[in-house]
């Protein structure tokens, strides 16, 4: 029931999450790593169009808004993650190849809100919940979500660097939102490349991981200074990337804060993001990638 569901969600807000994987995708360009996941959700685009045609009120629906999509992976024992929004379940299917049912939720915070989410357990690790948000909220986020979103966005301040943009010259995601405190760059997994040097060719490698540095702690229960693993830019310099990321990933608040943050950002600037992604493949890769083995989390299969 709804009450039980909410209780589960709340319960799982407090514990049980060990990490997450989060990605902001433009379905127009799909990396190899994302093929399977995107295959799982790709038909949504057409279905959303169909929904519009079938008379579902969707005052802000547009191709740009429809393409806003955020995928969040988090350890969660409950049926869903509580991200601060209200969701109504409108369907459930057992997808081929995954015995775990996929649940479909619609945002009910505001009537006609086009945002939907799909929730499915990871086949390879049943403790991981894959939540895919799609669409743009046409309403202010609830207090809880807004608080989490503002916390995460202001403190973590995600900057998306895509395959063709020079992070130093191109207005970034972070600059859109006027959160200048963070430097984020794609880091190659094996080579030592200074993110400030685009000539090194690190931009555009889909295998590269997005990492962020924050000028101060995120307000979570653990120190959450996000550091590049190899540029030694840390003002603290006393924690390895793995330790830092692990600390972040271990904090359940972070999971939901990030989810809410991205959702909020999309709500605010969905068109900006989408228009930017029309020429680029925006991908916010997992922050937990480096600790995925440890935590049992995996990147997109």
Q: Which of 33, 60, 89, 299 binds DNA (CB under 7 A)?
A: 89
Q: Which of 10, 77, 92, 192 binds DNA (CB under 7 A)?
A: 92
Residues in contact with DNA, shown as a per-residue x/- string from 115 to 134 under the rule CB under 7 A: -x-x----------------
Q: How far is the CB of 238 from DNA (least distance, A)?
A: 44
Q: What's the start-to-end Cα distance of the chain, in Å? A: 32
137 contacts DNA (rule: CB under 7 A):
no
Which tokens belong to 191?
Answer: 């080579």
To the nearest 10 degrees (0 to 180), the angle between helices 241-250 and 252-277 is: 100
CB of 49 to DNA, least distance (A): 7
Region of 4 (left: φ > 0; alpha: ψ -120 to 50; beta: rest) is: alpha
Least separation, in Å, of the C-beta of 63 and DNA? Answer: 15
> Among candidates 171, 177, 170, 130, which has minimal Cα distance to 25?
130
Judged by CB under 7 A, does residue 91 bind DNA?
yes
Is the Cβ–Cβ distance between 240 and 231 less than 8 Å?
Answer: no
Question: Which of 85, 103, 72, 90 is CA-nearest to residue 146?
Answer: 85
Q: Does 47 bind DNA (CB under 7 A)?
A: yes
54 sits near DNA (criterion: CB under 7 A): yes
> At its nearest, how many Å lie between DNA and the CB of residue 1?
4
Distance CA 217, CA 143 (A): 22
Q: Which stretch binds DNA (CB under 7 A): 29-37, 101-109, 151-159, 254-262?
A: 101-109
Give the pair of three-digit tokens for residue 155: 């403190």
Q: Footprint of DNA on this chain (CB under 7 A)?
A: 1-3, 5, 40-44, 46-48, 50-51, 54, 56, 86-97, 102-104, 108, 116, 118
């Amino acid at each position: 029931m709804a009450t039980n569901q909410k209780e589960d969600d709340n319960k799982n807000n407090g514990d049980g999450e060990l990490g997450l994987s989060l990605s902001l995708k433009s379905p127009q360009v799909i990396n190899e790593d994302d093929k399977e996941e995107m295959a799982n959700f790709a038909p949504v685009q057409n279905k959303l169009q169909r929904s519009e045609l079938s008379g579902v009120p969707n005052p802000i629906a547009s191709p740009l808004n429809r393409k806003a999509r955020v995928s969040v992976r988090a350890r969660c024992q409950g049926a869903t993650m509580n991200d601060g929004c209200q969701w109504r379940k409108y369907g459930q299917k057992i997808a081929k190849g995954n015995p775990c049912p996929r649940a479909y939720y619609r945002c009910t915070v505001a009537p006609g809100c086009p945002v939907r989410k799909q929730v499915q357990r990871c086949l390879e690790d049943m403790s991981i919940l894959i939540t895919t948000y799609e669409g743009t909220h046409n309403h202010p986020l609830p207090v809880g979500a807004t608080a989490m979103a503002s916390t995460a966005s202001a403190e973590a301040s995600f900057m998306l660097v895509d395959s063709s943009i020079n992070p130093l010259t191109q207005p970034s995601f972070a600059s859109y939102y006027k959160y200048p405190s963070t430097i984020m760059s794609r880091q190659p997994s094996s080579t030592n490349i200074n993110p400030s040097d685009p000539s090194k060719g690190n931009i555009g490698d889909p295998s590269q991981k997005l990492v962020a540095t924050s000028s101060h702690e995120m307000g979570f229960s653990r120190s959450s200074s996000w550091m590049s693993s190899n540029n030694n830019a840390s003002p603290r310099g006393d924690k390895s990337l793995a330790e830092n990321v692990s600390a972040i990933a271990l904090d359940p608040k972070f999971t939901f804060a990030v989810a809410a943050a991205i959702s909020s950002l999309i709500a605010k600037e969905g068109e900006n993001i989408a228009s930017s992604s029309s020429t680029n493949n925006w991908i916010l890769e997992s922050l937990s990638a480096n600790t995925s083995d440890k935590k049992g989390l995996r990147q997109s299969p």
